[in-house]
Structure 1
Amino acid sequence: MKPLATNRLVLSRKQHRACTLSISRAELEQRLGPPLAIDDEGDGLGPRYRWEFQGECGLEVLIDIPREASHGAREAVLWMKHLEVEHALEHLGLSTEYVLWRADMLEPLPLEGWAVVRRDGAGSRSDICVLSVPDHAECLALLLEARSPEQSYAMELRGLKPAPRRTPSHRWAPSSHDEHTAAL
């Protein structure tokens, strides 16, 4: 993941509070480097340290933590447009053990989208999650497979109808059964 420009560090209305993490600022700095901004206002949340990153797949993640949380474990908030907690945690190198609260726990699991599926050597299959963005699902499958090479991960379309075939343009169309094709 690459840091985004510091002038972009504003929570947009498109970003949602995805989860709360139990992690210290020191550990965040060790994993992510120094904060990109120190926000004295904190958007009404008080003074905050902030990190913002974008994965090569396009996933954008913002993490903020109160400034008084300097050394001990405190609550950091992870913000993102799509509620893809597993995907964000994998990019950040964090396990679900750090998660105190998840927004997606309050919602039923999506039935439509791109499922990330784990297959083990015995042929057992299990869904990891269903994501709405195919690039994000593919990215998560690749990240998980790189971490656990003894298992394979894939993505599958779930519950969505395949995209309709486009009608041929006027430049290309099957020949009609007229006198020219009848002679063939």
Structure 2
Amino acid sequence: MKPLPANRPDLWSQQQRACTLRVSRAELERLLGPALVHDAGDGLGPRYRWGFQFDCGLEVMIDLPRQSTSSREAVLWMEHLEVEHALAHLGLSTNRVLWRADMQNPLPLEGWAVVRQADADNRFDMCVLSIRAHAECLARLMEEARAYAQSYDVERRGTPPRVAPRRAPEYFAESIAS
């Protein structure tokens, strides 16, 4: 994971609010390192910010209001709504999620499914991501975290990509017309 440049102006324009997390600044600093203190003069007040790009290409940003209480609500921003993938990279569990954007607007079921297979041959779709490399990365992260009696695979879901219809050769079309 490498930090995102703090002075990149288009960074926030590409991101969307993915979820709200209940997490303290101390815990985020333990997991992610020191934060940048940011006050853009946007009326929201000073905030702590973290931004990272992971090896798979996923970019995430975390925005935490700078207040005096010990436990706060942080906002996770990303371009693609891949909450499970981001949480796996950040080392946070889904029980920290207070609100998710994909709960109000369900994501389409087209893309790449991360499938869990238990030892009793039970198979479950964990989530469907739009980018294959991100789904493969999440499957790898889940496999490493749970090394017992479960495996994770990536499979295509939804409608297959459209293929242009095959055209008949010119000589064949002429013989049919006559």
TM-score range, shorter chain: 0.7 to 0.9
Give how far 1:42 is off.
6.1
Contact 1:9 1:52 in 2 (8 A): no
Give how far 1:163 is off.
6.8
Give the aligned partner of residue 134 of structure 1.
132
Contact 1:42 1:48 in 2 (8 A): no
Q: Which amino acid aligns with 2:30?
A: Q
Unaligned runs of 5+ in 1: 168-184
> Per-residue displacement from partner, 1:68-111 (whole Å, max 9, x unpaired)?
15x61101000000000000000000001111111111122421
Give the aligned partner of residue 18 of structure 1.
18
Q: How does 1:34-183 map to 2 (within 5 A)?
A: 34-35=34-35, 37-41=36-40, 43-69=42-68, 72-150=70-148, 151-162=150-161, 164=163
SS at match of 2:14: coil
Give how far 1:13 is off.
2.3
* Higher alpha-carbon deviation: 72-81 or 1-10: 1-10
SS at match of 2:31: helix
Q: How does the TM-score come out when normalised to structure 2?
A: 0.85
Give how far 1:43 is off.
3.9
Measure the CA separation in 2 of the matches of 1:67 and 1:42.
14
Measure the CA separation in 2 of the matches of 1:112 and 1:45.
36
Measure the CA separation in 1 of the matches of 2:109 and 2:24.
35
Rate the CA distance shift 1:9–1:76 in 2: closer, same or farther, 3 A.
Answer: farther
Give how far 1:47 is off.
0.9
Give how far 1:25 is off.
0.6
Share of identical aligned residues, percent?
64
Measure the CA separation in 2 of the matches of 1:64 and 1:20.
10
> Per-residue displacement from partner, 1:130-170 (whole Å, max 9, x unpaired)?
000111000000000000112100110011314749x9xxx
Measure the CA separation in 2 of the matches of 1:10 and 1:66.
21
Q: Compute the RMSD of aligned alpha carbons.
A: 1.9
Aligned length: 164
